[in-house]
Amino acid sequence: MITAMMASSYNAKEEDGHHSGAAGHGGAGAVKSRKPDNTAFKQQRLPAWQPILTAGTVLPAFFVIGLIFIPIGIGLYVTSNNIKEFEIDYTGVDSNSPCYSCARNFSSNSTTPCTCSLNFTLEQPFESNVFMYYGLSNFYQNHRRYVKSRDDSQLNGDLSSLKEPSKECEPYRTSESFPIAPCGAIANSLFNDTLELYYVESNGTRNLVPLVKKGIAWWTDKHVKFRNPSGNSNLTIAFQGTSKPVNWRKPVFELDPLDSENNGFINEDFIVWMRTAALPTFRKLYRIIQKKPSTTPTLPSGRYILTVTYNYPVLSFDGRKRMILSTISWMGGKNPFLGIAYITVGSICFFLG
């Protein structure tokens, strides 16, 4: 019996030659063969592309990269150059600066705000929408403990967090046994200078440039992330039982008393501030100067006066404050770097090639 099976197994093997199927024949061969499958994958014979980096193969690649990058770079550079930007520092470091006295005599609990005015001239008219930024330098909004010092649920209008802010807000969590709303260091250090822009016409009259304060924050921030405490349309009541941040002059529900859609946590200046800047020198969108329906430029060239209500101290940490006016293009603000980078890299590639 065994013999017969063995015999058949051998015969099968002989007939099939190399095929593994032979193992299936005969009783003794019924044991599954452990022969590996002859698949390209298992035998590591997958069809493959084998690039070999030699001069011959690499040169064309360099040329191609160069040819693509240089035009892009030029395009970006031109775009960036078309953006008009004006920047003015109003910190008041120099003694001849209008804001010098404000900066010097700053005290947080003075009731009368110090104001100062700066004159400047725009050489060229600014077309289209103009964005007004305030810029801070040397302000480490990205400091690790600073970044963490907030309570997102509180800002989202969560009632329990309103009463019981997150531990992360320490030491700006409670004030006189009341929970601070909004808690945390970021909110506490809210930028509170007020900037006003006047256009001085050739006859000397000052025209207030209309500044739009809405639309400066991310839409998702304003509508999803930030929410006033629900339950009561009256913010004063909603925020009852909370304390204002230590450095603030007025509570959160008085940030913009005129517009309930811009008050409380959903105040856009507040939201913009809460989006902590990545680098110590940063600018934040303050206002938008909307394009006029007529053909006149948004900001015609000429003299302007910037009136600053100087509330925010920066000299203690050697900071600087700036006001920036800028138009934007499809790729954002003025920044020739990327264009230059493209041109440089493209040229290097071309050169190497």
Partner 1 sequence: VWGKVFAAESGRQRKKKTKESKTRTVHANILYDSAKGEESPNRHYANNKIKTTKYTLLSFLPKNLFEQFHRFANVYFVFIALLNFVPVVNAFQPELALAPVVFILSVTAIKDLWEDYRRHRSDKEINHMDCLVYSRAERRYVEIYWKELRVGDFVRLRCNEILPADVLLLSSSDPDRLCHIETATLDGETNLKQRQVVRSFYDLDCDFNPLKYTSVIECEKPNNDLNRFRGYIIHRNGRRDALYKDNLLLRGCTIRNTEEAVGIVIYAGHETKAMLNNNGPRYKRSKLERQMNVDVFWCVIILLIMCLFTAVGHGLWMFQYGDKRPVFDVLSPEGTDLSPIMSAIYLFLTMIIVFQVLIPISLFVSIEIVKICQVYFIHNDLELYEEETDSHLQCRALNITEDLGQMQYIFSDKTGTLTENKMVFRRCTVAGVEYSHDANARRLAMYQEVDSEEEECVSHGGTLPRRDSVTSHTSARVVLRSQSTKSHRRTGSRAEAKRASILSKHTAFSSPMEKDITPDPQLLDKVNECSSKMDFMRFHSQSLSTLSSDLCDIIDFFVALTICNTVVVSSPNQPRQKVRMRFELKSPVKTIEDFIKRFTPSRLTSSNNSSSSSLNRSNNRGCSSLISSPSADSTLTKLDEEKTAPDLQHDFTPVPPCFDPAKSWRLEEGELRYEAESPDEAALVYAARAYKCSLVGRLPDQVTVELPHLGKLSFELLHTLGFDSTRKRMSVVVRHPLTDQITVYTKGADSVIMDIIRPPDTGKRQKKIICRTQNYLNQYAADGLRTLCIAKKVLSKEEYACWLQRHLQAETAIQGREELLFESALRLETNLHLLGATGIEDRLQDGVPETIASLRKAGLQIWVLTGDKQETAVNILLTLNADSQEACALLLDESLHYIQAKFLCSSSDQAAKMYLTNNINNMAAADLYPSLPVHRLGLVIDGRTLAYALDRSLEDKFLAVARSCRSVLCCRSTPLQKSMVVKLVRNKLKVMTLAIGDGANDVSMIQVADVGVGISGQEGMQAVMASDFALPRFSYLQKLLLVHGHWCYSRLANMILYFFYKNAMFVALIFWYQFYCGFSGSAMIDQWYLIFFNLMFSAFPQLITGTLDKDVSAETLQHLPQLYRSGQNSEEYKPYMFWMNMIDAFYQSLVCFFIPYFAYADSGVDLFTWGTPITTIALFTILLHLGVETKTWTWMNWLSICFSVALFFTVALCYNASCPTCYSPSNPYWTIQRLLQDPLFYFLCIITPCSALLPRYFYRACQGTLFPSAVQVGRQLDKLPPETRRNILSLSRVTTGSPLSLQPHFLSTNKPLPKDNEGTNNISQTYKKEDAGKDKDTSKDMYSFVNSEGDTLPYTKDLPRGELNISCKTPEALNTSPEVSHGLSPSLVTSPPLLSPTDSVVLPPEHGPPCVRYKRSSEEGIQGQDRTEHKIQVAL
Could you tell me the smallest distance in angstroms from the CB atom of residue 252 to partner 1? 17
CA–CA separation, 32 vs 29, rounded Å?
7
Query: CA torsion, points 73, 324, 118, 137, in degrees to nearest 10?
Result: -100
111 touches partner 1 (CB under 8 A)? no
Of 159, 208, 224, 237, the residue at the interface with partner 1 (CB under 8 A) is 224
Binding residues for partner 1 restricted to 266-305, rule: CB under 8 A: 272, 275-285
Closer to partner 1 by CB, 117 or 166: give it.
166
Is-contact 274 155, C-beta < 8 A? Answer: yes
Applying CB under 8 A, does 89 fall inside the site for partner 1?
no
- Residue list 129-158, contact with partner 1 (CB under 8 A): 133, 135, 139-153, 155-156, 158
| Sheet strands (E) in 103-171 | 114-122, 130-137
Closest to partner 1 by CB, 113 vs 280, is 280
Give the Cα separation of 212 and 289 in Å (integer).
6
Closest CA to 329 of 72, 82, 133: 82
User: In the window 177-196, what residues touch partner 1 (CB under 8 A)?
Assistant: 185, 188-189
Interface with partner 1 (CB under 8 A), residue from 171, 210, 215, 231: 171
**How near is the Cβ of 239 to partner 1 at its closest, in Å?**
18
Q: Is 114 helix (H, G, I), strand (E, B) or coil?
A: strand
Please, which residues have CB within 8 angstroms of residue 333's CB and are 6 or more apart in sequence? Answer: 83, 85, 131, 326
CB-based burial of residue 126 (10 Å sphere; 0-12 exposed, 13-18 middle, 19+ buried)? buried
Residue 350 touching partner 1 (CB under 8 A): no
If one asks whether residue 42 binds partner 1 (CB under 8 A), the answer comes out as: yes
Binding test (CB under 8 A) with partner 1, winner from 163, 206, 213, 225? 225
Among 27, 35, 201, 234, binds partner 1 (CB under 8 A): 35
